Amino acid sequence: MDIFWIKAIIVLVIFGLSLVVAMYSTWAERKVAGYMQDRPGPNRAGWGGLLQPLADAGKMFFKEDFIPAQANKWLFIAGPCLAMLTALLSSAVVPFGDTIIVGSDEVQVQGIEVNIGILWVFGIVSLGVYGVMVGGWASNNKFSLLGAIRAASQNISYELAMGLSLIAIIMMTGSLSVRDIINTQHGGSWNLLYQPLGFIIFLTCAFAECNRTPFDLPECEAELIGGYHTEYSSMKLGFYLFAEYINMFVSSCVVSALYFGGFNYPFMDKVAEALGTDATGHNIATAIGFGVFFAKALFFVFFFMWVRWTLPRFRYDQLMNLGWKSLIPLAILNIVVTGIGLMFEIRWFSWVAVILIVGVALVQAALKPKAARGILEAAPVR
Amino acid sequence: MPITADKIWYILTALTLISALAVILVRNPMYSVLSLVLTFFLLSCHYFLLNAQFLGVVNMIVYAGAIMVLFLFVVMFLNLREYREETKNNLTKIGAFVMGLAILGAIIASIRRLQYPMPPSEQFNIKTGYVETLGDLLFRDYLLPFELVTVLFFIAMVGAIIIGKREKGERHF
């Protein structure tokens, strides 16, 4: 078989998988919510409600597709399209597994392997805000516009901290390719162990970029009715919600690739040895790695839901203060400390930054008057 | 029918020209901004086609992702129905015409002078556009200019913060 067709099949499989995972994330979200709130969740359609996503899709497609009279018709349609497009593009560079051998060709289980992989994800994420902004503006509704503006400023703010937290990883790996980053984590030396602070910053920013609780202020229904998708109905609304779940899945994949070793797992060399080095053995080993990667990614999808049903929403000024005044300085500190560590060839040196910050925070909390104590800062003194 | 790089180039160039023309020809500023975003994206695709992946993706992040979002921000705040014909008096029209003509002349003059120093294809290094090559160049051969540019950026950043800072007694929202 031509290598082109093998690659095309891999791309299609990745495309299909991200759609299916996003679809069942909507089911899992309600199941998790149900479990946390002590109720069964969806359980009518199919066993354990497993057909619920299909029922929802059917309902979404058959509802009236309403476009407001004063809305800009083309941009109103373009909004959800852009959101879906950018959500699906970013998984192109994520390596889902090692290589598979077909005939005499060795093909990587990945859309495209480029030497700027992680920057591609970053670039697509920065384009992702257009879907929300265009849709919110085209609705010709004050609340939609406010939601869109909130989304845009939130995404721009958290992109900075996200990029800065990535730089520490890139410094340690010496490559921008996601596959290289995964390969350097081979043998249990996961980046999480060396970059704890970077991981926390990255994860927080991923929540903000996906507009997930506690940072879902663009669709804050208590203040904005429904946010940027107030005017949307039918499958257009469905696409907006769906894009959010795809983004969630892709960012979970990126987190597990960058910090949790991707398709690496303990004793993988021994497993590969036992399976043999011929094509079948190699492919089975790759399949196990693929499964491990998926398990890690799905855990983070679950983590997104876990946080959503645990934490309340931030206030908007708290969100901005956290992004600009806490996460960006912390990320810069992380870069400097990692740089010092690399100079003396101590890989775990980033822990020094963690200890430093925790120490400073404890001292600050101890020195504060009792009335002002709390995890979240009180309203700024005016 | 195999898809070759030069066929992709023709399609891409046609799309780029159409979207670039749309920036200046459409009436609605919102469409104009969005076509500018599309133009930047297509220019990034051109860079990818030339194997300058780093340049392409940085162009995408900085221009299409960051700067154009701010443009869109400003346009979204304008009430488009009121601001329609305000800035189009004869003086600005003549000024724009003269400026456009001057820039066109400059571009044509520089293109006429340009000679394409195409290296023979066997000497072509596939890693020319890679980030490693770029880093080597920036931090070895052009270190001083690079550092001076960073100082310039730093000054701009400080200036922006000072302009944006709220002064005492000023009303805030």
* Residue pLDDT tens, chain B, 173 long: 566 777 888 889 999 999 999 988 888 888 888 899 899 989 998 888 888 888 888 888 888 888 888 888 888 877 666 555 556 678 888 888 899 999 999 999 888 877 766 667 777 777 777 888 888 888 888 999 999 999 999 999 899 888 887 777 766 55
Res A219: pLDDT: 74
Buried b (16+ CB within 10 A) or exposed e, A98-129: bbbbeeeeebbbbbeebbbbbbbbbbbbbbbb
CA separation for the pair A151, A210 (Å, rounded):
10
Res A100: pLDDT: 79
- Cβ distance A119 to B57 less than 8 Å, yes or no, reads yes
Res B87: pLDDT: 61
Other C-beta atoms closer than 10 Å to the C-beta of A38 total 6
CA separation for the pair A116, B54 (Å, rounded):
6
Res A353: pLDDT: 81
Mean residue pLDDT of chain A comes to 84
Nearest to A145 among B34, B76, B131 (CB): B76
- Cβ distance A123 to B69 less than 8 Å, yes or no, reads no
Which residues contact residue A71 at a Cβ distance below 8 angstroms, ignoring those fewer than 6 apart?
A: A138, A139, A140, A231
H or E segment and range at residue B17? helix B5-25
Per-residue model confidence as pLDDT tens digits over A116-157: 888 888 888 888 888 888 888 888 888 888 888 888 888 888
Regions of chain A where pLDDT drops below 50: 382
Res A4: pLDDT: 79
Res B83: pLDDT: 56
Res B170: pLDDT: 67
Q: What share of chain B is helix, strand, coil (3-state, %, to 5)?
A: 70, 0, 30
Nearest to A126 among B30, B34, B61 (CB): B61
Give the number of A-B residue pairs with CB atoms closer than 8 Å: 64
Res B39: pLDDT: 92
Q: Which residue intervals of chain A are DSSP H helices?
A: 3-36, 52-62, 73-89, 117-127, 129-138, 142-173, 178-184, 191-194, 196-209, 221-224, 234-259, 268-275, 279-308, 316-321, 328-343, 350-367
ipTM exceeding 0.90? Answer: no
CA separation for the pair A41, A49 (Å, rounded):
8
Res A41: pLDDT: 83
CA separation for the pair B59, B45 (Å, rounded):
10
CA separation for the pair A219, A313 (Å, rounded):
11
Per-residue model confidence as pLDDT tens digits over A6-25: 888 888 888 888 888 888 88
**Domain assignments of chain A as residue spans, ordered by start:** 53-372
Q: Is the pTM of this model over 0.80?
A: yes
- Cβ distance A152 to B72 less than 8 Å, yes or no, reads yes
- B-chain CB neighbours of A129 within 8 Å are 65, 69
Interface test with B, best of A2, A4, A81, A119 (most B CBs within 10 A): A119
CA separation for the pair A49, A56 (Å, rounded):
11
A108: β partners: A99
- Cβ distance A119 to B61 less than 8 Å, yes or no, reads yes
